[in-house]
Structures are given as structure tokens and as C-alpha cells.
Amino acid sequence: MSSLLPQLMLGLFNGACYALLSLGLAIIFGLLNVVNFAHGAFYMLGAFIGWGLLHYAGLGYWAALVIAPLVVGVLGVVLERTLLSRLYRLDPLYNLLLTFGLALILQGLFLAKFGSSGEIYDPPAALRGAWNLGFMILPIYRGWVMIVSVVVCLATWYVTERTKLGSYLRAATENAGLVQAFGINVPRMVTVTYGLGVALAAFAGVLAAPIFRVNPTMGDDMIIIVFAVVVIGGMGSIMGSIVTGFALGLVEGLTKVLYPPASSTVVFALMALVLLVRPAGLFGKAP
Amino acid sequence: MTARARPRRWRSEYTVFAVMTGALVVAPLVAYSGLLMTCMCMALFACAFNLLIGYVGLLSFGHAMFLGGAGYAAAHAAKVWELPPELAILFGTAVAAALGLVVGWLAIRRQGIYFAMITLGLAQMIYFVCSQAKFTHGEDAIQGVPRGVLFGVVDLANPAAMYGLVLVVFLVGFSIIYRVIHSPFGAVLTAIRENETRAVSLGYNTDHYKLIAFVISAALAGTAGATKALASQVASLTDVHWTMSGEVVLMTLIGGLGRFTGPVVGAFVVVCLEHYFAESSGWVNVAQGVVFVLCVLTFRQGMMGKLSAALRLPL
């Protein structure tokens, strides 16, 4: 069982990525009623921007952690204004297909330029090495990712649940027309929300870059699992998606130790189980 | 729909069917028959998919699991169990139908986008199972699948015979879907698509209808996959991967959602484009993505939708 703790830590790290991504998906879905299929592609884009900044501009990890979400956020705002906003009146499936198309384009461009093997991105000097916690060795970088993602998740939760801006956001989720009638600029709020959601994905991408190889398909492996996370947690609650994200990462890590062949399917099996017992998801409102 | 319009609709749709059959019979004279067989299998696959999205309003993002799963089942049956081709195809179809029953039973508990995400997740699970299971040979795929002798009479090693079989399977599958759509059962499906609550209030158990439609769609997607595995003599992971599920959405979208001929045209366009664009990895994705975005933004009726409006014919 000596491999248990490291695997659990890796699981928690994956869980941190799931939480950050499903959080962004949940916010976007809440307000826009759009399932953002391009979320995985923005995550990949964030990682590549981080790598590119180091490679071409000599800007390191800390700069990337700020610049990548900004760039992706702006791209998200532009895409929302020019493309997504045209389809709000139609069946939400059309926006799902639109974002799927965007994901294919982004992924294809990077595949054509970089191939599928991937690039290596080292963690910054300050975060290399490991702490000896006595009962296990914890690579500093993983500890850092865990702390940062918990902080970011809680901050997002705080903003949406405890601030005035968040109350507008939640109100618009319930009834956008009414909120607009009160003089709040809902379309702008929608645009900003989409930008923030995809910026979170890019942030997760930079965090993940030093652990996984930065490669064009890293997003689509991730997005399908995150969709399952979202189905399990239900998209109704912010806290729900955070908790589910971390919990599923942990379950995956545990399965890797106990029965490795099932580790890639366990999340989907859990999804099927949840659908049987609680079709609305663990934290979802009944339909 | 008035009573007078009815006979005319019948005639024009028979014409469409006859033109399509005629074109496919002579097509091998001008085009490579291997490519045409892939086109027809994908066309049947897309028609089966269209039954769900176009007539019940359910977007399945996991249909590759039926295509690829049945492909593996048929290839295994033909190669290892040495079943004749007709039984191998039936076996593939049955496996897909059974899988469809389980997946559909789970997925119809949620609607709309959740349905899409659930089918995608379950399909990914099947993909991982296929990539790890022994009988699929993982990355190596099941290769050299014997085509066998149909009903003990027709040797399918003969390309013309194989082409004939694929053509017949495609036409039969297409007709089944046409009959389903234009039956009272199909009318209920359309009612569910238009307004599920109302269909429920009229006394229909919509979950039963959705599940039956899902199983029919899965089974026919399986027939397509099994036939494809015999025709190409390979069953590989490509057919179970989620990109295949995306591709079938694209075919249906280009051809026209909810048009009974739409997916056929869409499948031929997409398969041929991929064939001639060759394997420049990456750029194919970009091209598909661009077409997706353009279709969704500006071309939602699809090619057959446009044509149908221009010719004033129900296509």
C-alpha cells in the first residue's frame, strides 16, 4: 500500500482540475444555458500559452498564470459576442454544437502545428523539489496546485454566493428578463461570465502544464470526464461542482491503487449509478 | 396535411428512393467501390442517428459506441467464431441493440444537454473498455476479418458481391427508418420532439417511446458498424472514439436535421471530403470545426433542407 498516498495526492490534483473546470462550466451553464464544449480546448490553450510564453518570450510561470487566463478570457468575450450570442434564442443544442466546432478548430490548429506528442513545461524553481511530511513525500508543486485551486474555488463560491454581483448573477440565472427589467445590463453580465468561465479553464491549464505534457488533446480527455462530473454533481450549485470535482479525483486515484484497469472508467460507472439513484445529480434540483 | 396532398407526397418520395438506388447501383462504375461502401455504411449510421436528433429531439453524443461496438462484435464473430457473414451482422446488430437498451434506459432519465453529456460519458466508458479488452486487440485492432460466404452461396471475397450486400443492407436499413418515421409511432416521436409535456398529457408514456426509438437507432447504427467491419475487414478503435460520434453529428447537420435523405447526402459529403483531404492530421479537424460553426450559424436546414425548399419537394 506504499503507493496509496502518492496516488491519492495525484487523484486530488486531478480533482483540483476537475473542480476548476466544472466550476467554470457550471457558472456558464447557469447564466447562458450553454454547455461549453470548448471548455477543454480553452484549458489546452491555457497550457499552450503558458508554454509559449516561456518558449518564445522568456516569460515564466508566474507571468503565465496571469497572462494566459487574461488572453483566453478576452478570446472568450470576443467569441461570445460574435458567435454564441447569435444562438441564444434557439435550442441550446445549437450552442453545444457551435462550441464543439470551436473545440475542433482549436485542437486541430494545435495538432497541425505541434503534433500529438506534446511539449514539456517545467515548474518554476521555487516550486521544485518535495516536502517530506514524515508519512509521505509530497512534491511541492502538487501541494501548491492543491492550495491554489482550493483558494480559487472558494473565492468563486464567495463571489457568487455572498456578494451583490453574485446575487445579480444568481437572479439572472433564475429569470434574466426580470433582472433586466430592474435595470441591470444582463447581456454584458453574460459576456463577462463567459469570459471568466473560460479564464478559469485557462488557469487550470497553466496549473496542469508542469504535471502533464502540454499537448493538443489534453483538453478532450479532460472535458469528457468533467461532463461526467457535472452530471454527477448537478449543475445547480457552485459548491456542488467543487466538492464533486475533488471527490471524483480522489475516487479515481483510489481506483488506480485498488484496481488499475478500472481507473479510466470508474467516473463513468459512478455517473451511471448516480443516474439510477438520483437522476438530478447529487446537488441538483429535481427537474 | 390535407388528403389531397397525400398521394403526391408518396410519389415524390418513391422517386427519391428510386433515384438514390439507381445512382448507387451504377456508382461503382465511376468511383472506387471501397469508398462507396464506407459512404453507405456511414450513411446508414447517420440515418439511424438522425432518427433520434431529427425526430425525437434527442442529441446522442455517443453513437460511436454502437457503430464501433457492433463492428468489434461482428469482426470477432466472423474471425474467431467463424460465423457466416449474415449471422455476424445480425450478432453485431443484436449487441448494439442490447447496449442501446442499457444506455438508453440510463440516458433518457435526463433531457436536452444532459442527455448529450450522459451518452458521451457512457460512450467514453465503452471506448476505454474496448481499448483494454483482450478480444479487441487494443491499438492493433481486429484485422483481416474474413468476409465469408453469404447464406453459403455468395462468396463475398468478390468485390461486386460485397458491394451488393452493403447496398442491400443500406437500402433495407434506410427503408426501415423511413417506415418508422412515417408510422403512427413516428408521429408520436415527432409530438415528443415538439412538446413532450403535451404528449404526456395526451396519455403517451413518452419514456417508452424514447427508449424504443433509442434502441432502434442503436441497432441500426450497429448494423452499419457490423457491415462496415466486414466490408473493410477491420474493426478498430477509431470507430468507437468520440470523434466518430462528433462526425455523425456533422454529417446529419450538413445534410439536414430531420430530413430523411439529409444524413445520406451529409455522410457522402463528409466521407469523401475526408478521403480527398487525406490524412493531414489537424487540418481535417480544423475543416470539420469550421463547417460545424458555419452550419450552426447560417445553414441550419442543411443541404437537403435548402434543396427541399427550393424544389418544393419533401426530401
Categorize the per-residue pLDDT at B11 as very low, low, confident or very high, splitting at 50, 70 and 90: low
Q: Chain A, 122-181: which have a CB under 8 Å from a chain B CB?
A: none
Q: Does the structure show a pLDDT above 60 at B123?
A: yes
Distance in Å from the first CA to the final CA of chain A: 43
Characterize the bridge pairing of strands B154-155 and A137-139: unpaired
Q: Chain A, 214-243: which have a CB under 8 Å from a chain B CB?
A: 216, 220, 224-225, 227-228, 230-231
Angle at A105 between CA A76 and CA B306, to 5 degrees: 100
- Joined grid coordinates for residue A204: 487550470
**Total residues found in chain A within this entry:** 287
pLDDT confidence of residue B2: 46
Q: Cα distance from B86 to chain A (closest Cα, Å)?
A: 33
Categorize the per-residue pLDDT at B216 as very low, low, confident or very high, splitting at 50, 70 and 90: very high
What amino acid is encoded at B130 in this protein? C
Contact between B139 and B237 (Cβ < 8 Å): yes
Contact A108 B249 (CB under 8 A): no
Half-sphere exposure of A189 (CA within 13 A, CB side): 22
Categorize the per-residue pLDDT at B44 as very low, low, confident or very high, splitting at 50, 70 and 90: very high
**Total residues found in chain B within this entry:** 315
Three-class secondary structure assignment of chain A = CCCHHHHHHHHHHHHHHHHHHHHHHHHHHHHHCCCCCCHHHHHHHHHHHHHHHHHHHCCCHHHHHHHHHHHHHHHHHHHHHHCHHHHCCCCHHHHHHHHHHHHHHHHHHHHHHHCCCCECCCCCHHHCCEEECCCCEEEHHHHHHHHHHHHHHHHHHHHHHHCHHHHHHHHHHHCHHHHHHCCCCHHHHHHHHHHHHHHHHHHHHHHHCCCCCECCCHHHHHHHHHHHHHHHHCCCCHHHHHHHHHHHHHHHHHHHHHCHHHCCCHHHHHHHHHHHHCCCCCCCCCC
CB < 8 Å to A113, chain B: 282
Can you say how many angstroms the Cα of residue A40 is from the centroid of all Cα atoms in its chain?
7
Query: pLDDT tens digit string along A90-122?
Result: 888 888 899 999 999 999 999 988 888 888 888
Characterize the bridge pairing of strands B149-150 and A137-139: unpaired
The model carries a pTM of 0.89
For residue A281, give the chain B residue with the closest CA: B110
Half-sphere exposure of B175 (CA within 13 A, CB side): 11
- Joined grid coordinates for residue A212: 502533464
pLDDT confidence of residue B251: 92
Categorize the per-residue pLDDT at B6 as very low, low, confident or very high, splitting at 50, 70 and 90: low
- Burial of B4 (C-beta count, 10 Å sphere; 0-12/13-18/19+): exposed
Q: Cα distance from B248 to chain A (closest Cα, Å)?
A: 12
Contact B118 A224 (CB under 8 A): no
Of A112, A264, A279, the CB nearest to B282: A112
pLDDT confidence of residue A127: 83
Closest CA to A32 of A71, A103, A100, A89: A89
For B142, which DSSP code? B
Q: What CATH class is the domain A4-115+123-277?
A: mainly alpha
Q: Does the structure show a pLDDT above 90 at A42?
A: yes
Query: pLDDT tens digit string along B144-199?
Result: 888 888 888 888 888 889 999 999 999 999 999 999 999 999 999 999 999 999 99
Phi and psi at A284, nearest 5°, equal -80, 155
Segments making up each domain of chain B, as ranges: 31-241
Contact A103 B109 (CB under 8 A): no
Distance in Å from the first CA to the final CA of chain B: 16
Q: Which residue has the higher pLDDT, B10 or B166?
A: B166
Contact A87 B297 (CB under 8 A): yes
Q: Does the structure show a pLDDT above 80 at A235?
A: no
Q: Does the structure show a pLDDT above 90 at A57?
A: no
Q: Does the structure show a pLDDT above 60 at B8?
A: no
Closest CA to A69 of A164, A222, A203, A212: A203
Closest CA to B235 of B248, B249, B219, B224: B224
Contact between B158 and B164 (Cβ < 8 Å): no
Categorize the per-residue pLDDT at B1 as very low, low, confident or very high, splitting at 50, 70 and 90: very low
B132 lies within 8 A of chain A by CB: yes
Q: Taking residues A263-287, what's their average pLDDT?
A: 81
Interface probe for A, chosen from B113, B195, B241 (most Cβ of A below 10 Å), is: B113
Distance CA A212, CA A253 (A): 16
Distance CA B241, CA B141 (A): 13
B273 lies within 8 A of chain A by CB: no
Q: Which residue has the higher pLDDT, A9 or B129?
A: B129
Query: pLDDT tens digit string along A117-142?
Result: 888 888 888 888 888 777 777 888 88
Interface probe for B, chosen from A265, A274, A282 (most Cβ of B below 10 Å), is: A265
Residues 6+ apart with CB under 8 A from B206: B192, B196, B199, B200
Chain mean pLDDT for chain A: 88
ipTM (interface pTM): 0.86
Percent of chain A with pLDDT over 90: 37
Distance CA A32, CA A21 (A): 16
Q: Which residue has the higher pLDDT, A56 or B312?
A: A56
Contact between A211 and A142 (Cβ < 8 Å): yes
Segments making up each domain of chain A, as ranges: 4-115+123-277
Query: pLDDT tens digit string along A166-225?
Result: 889 888 888 888 999 999 999 999 999 999 999 999 999 999 999 888 999 898 888 989
pLDDT confidence of residue B211: 95
